Structure 1
């Protein structure tokens, strides 16, 4: 997979950087990893939250930057876009404040969010990375098939 990423055209990398920055901003601002006056976070940010954010944002940017030839496996490309969005959402859950997540607080309460959800968040982050790596693999396969179609 690394050699396939290295063989991508140069035009992919500026788009990947731009999409990664957008993804990082969309995940980090509401989860208050980037401190803004709009959102606050009563629980301290862990160093692992920044690592998960960086990896998932880079993967999202790379997935969105790789554009297969139009018309080639269009249904597969749409599914990959959906799984990319889900990967970003799972990443947001992994780095977000455990007591700011209203669904978790409603289900298990504030003490449950701190004692149950907070320790599980790194595993959720690994799930987000795994989902995005799988999606990137599918995108690279779609790109390779569109760029070099098999003979009939």
Structure 2
């Protein structure tokens, strides 16, 4: 059973080793973002994900795929033992996909990456004014505009 998106976003925001944590958390919280129905390898290992994302890093570079958090994810994966078990959450919306890795409770985030599908653009993050935040009751300082032209 996937971890609630609100919990994942809060945990991502508190992970100082993820440079783009606020943007990734905003994507996870966006109302158009949904948990992917296809996640065949939700239980995985550090070693398997290190190999996969090292390949994706090269592919993203040569194919000009926009991403956030990839370097931080690879650094986190390289700092841990290959056989360490982790859980993969996949979330998607409008041409973008986020992968979030944790130890099973959704609290201790190993790493997270947000990337565009193909050569599309990542969502634009707009800062909400103080009045907008109070009116929403969410307390979030960021909002994604998935339809922004970039």
Band the TM-score falls in, shorter-chain normalisation: under 0.3
Q: Normalising to structure 2: TM-score of the pair? A: 0.27
Structure in which a larger fraction of residues adopt strand: 2
Flag the structure with larger Rg: 1
Structure in which a larger fraction of residues adopt helix: 1
If asked which structure has higher relative contact order (CA below 8 Å, sep 6+), I would say 1
